[in-house]
Structure 1
Amino acid sequence: MVDGLRSDGKKIAFNPAVELSYLSKENQQLVVKNIEGLDLTPSHAQTIRMKELSRENRLDENVIYSIMTEEKANQKEKLSFKMEDINEYFPKNYTPREKSEVILKLLKGWAKRRNKEQER
């Protein structure tokens, strides 16, 4: 536990929690405040940066907020399917990448047909 941050997967992952353990109690509390206020947790890379900035005495409330509000790669909207839900529509030897390419190709065709129908 790092000053209110649980490393059991409920609030923050273990590795980011370890990095945050190097911050002062004040900065840890600011991180907790941002986690609760923004309803998001920092990534491992973000916590490493916070730790480095803290060592340089350049970490404060504004910097923590700025780091935590950056868009993370895993926050971009994604659409995923369970393989078990789509496997029946593909040959057994198709890789996930090939399945994705087929789905995108089919969607492009569907969109073209839909656009033509709307033009009428």
Structure 2
Amino acid sequence: MPMAEKVDQMNPDEKIVEIAIERLRVFENHPFRVEMDSQMKDLQDSIKKYGIITPVIVRPRKEGYYEIISGHRRIFAAEKLGYRKVPTIIRYMTDDQAVIAMVDSNLQRERIQPSEKAFAYKMKYDVLKRKSGRRKAGQVDHNSGKKGLEIISEETGDSPKQVQRYIKMADLIPELLEKVDDGSMGFTPAVQIAYLKKREQKDILDAMELTLCTPSLSQAMRMKKLSADGKLTTQRVEDILSEIKQKETDRVVFKNDQLHKYFPKNYSTEQMKREIIELLKLYVLNY
């Protein structure tokens, strides 16, 4: 049974009740973004047509409110549509049970950012590690006979090694995580940089802006080694990122915003490329 179905499935003694949205609170340290994207618009369209088909799951808190376990996006969409109450299942859970249920209910989403997956895996792994009663990474869960990394791997489809990489990436500073999410920095170099001190990561971020370059895997590994040896200075970071990468020795790179001011706004990258080549041919013929 998929993780989300296990979370959302009602127990025989549970019932659906209507709870005011104002009494609901976001899960503490919720790692998943809830924003008005294309998926949210699709969800809103669905709610307009059919209502909220799947009730949200919450747990009661002693402060008098309910903490959302599953359904952050449904609640956001419903509230934007003017809903004041949502169908809800109240479930009593320990803190660790709540973390696992919250993570499992969100990991089934179609599109998940690397940073979301990193923090979600880390939250679940920390719970599994506590449950095993051991401190060392990868220790066996005595209830299942499997290691925490293996449990997450089996449930998500990522290899245990890949799960471990995601968990490590949670150590990146927010600005670098954002670059992984938007695709401007590669996943594997980011994992290597996550081993660096926060100050060193900030130096890398500054150097990336200065040089307009992102670190390759080999550069990231070199900086990791220099950091471990206590030799990674700001200047060394800038020197490494200023190097011409092997694949770039035979090409010239322009950013789109550097070129668009010379071309019609509706020109695609390919159209600009063809136009530049034709202009260069004319230049050579007339030189």
* Range into which the TM-score falls when normalised by the shorter chain: 0.5 to 0.7
Give the match for residue 201 of structure 2.
28
2:230 pairs, out of 22, 42, 57, with: 57
The amino acid that maps onto 1:69 is S
Structure (1 or 2) with the greater strand fraction = 2
Structure 1 residue aligned with 2:245 = 72
Cα displacement (A) at 1:9:
5.3
Write the letter of the residue equivalent to 1:43: S
1:114 is aligned to none
How far is the alpha carbon of 1:70 from its aligned partner? 1.1
1:53-104: per-residue Cα shift (whole Å, max 9, x none)?
100000010111111111111212339xxxxxxxxxxxxxxxxxxxxxxxxx
Equivalent residue for 2:119? none
* Residue 211 of structure 2: aligned partner: 38
TM-score, with length taken from structure 2: 0.26
Aligned residue type for 1:50: M
Higher relative contact order (CA 8 A, sep 6+): 1
Looking at structure 2, the residues matched to 31 and 18 of structure 1 have their Cα atoms a distance apart, in angstroms, of: 14
In 1: Cα distance, 2:183 partner to 2:190 partner: 12
Kept in 2, the 8 Å contact 1:8–1:14? The answer is no
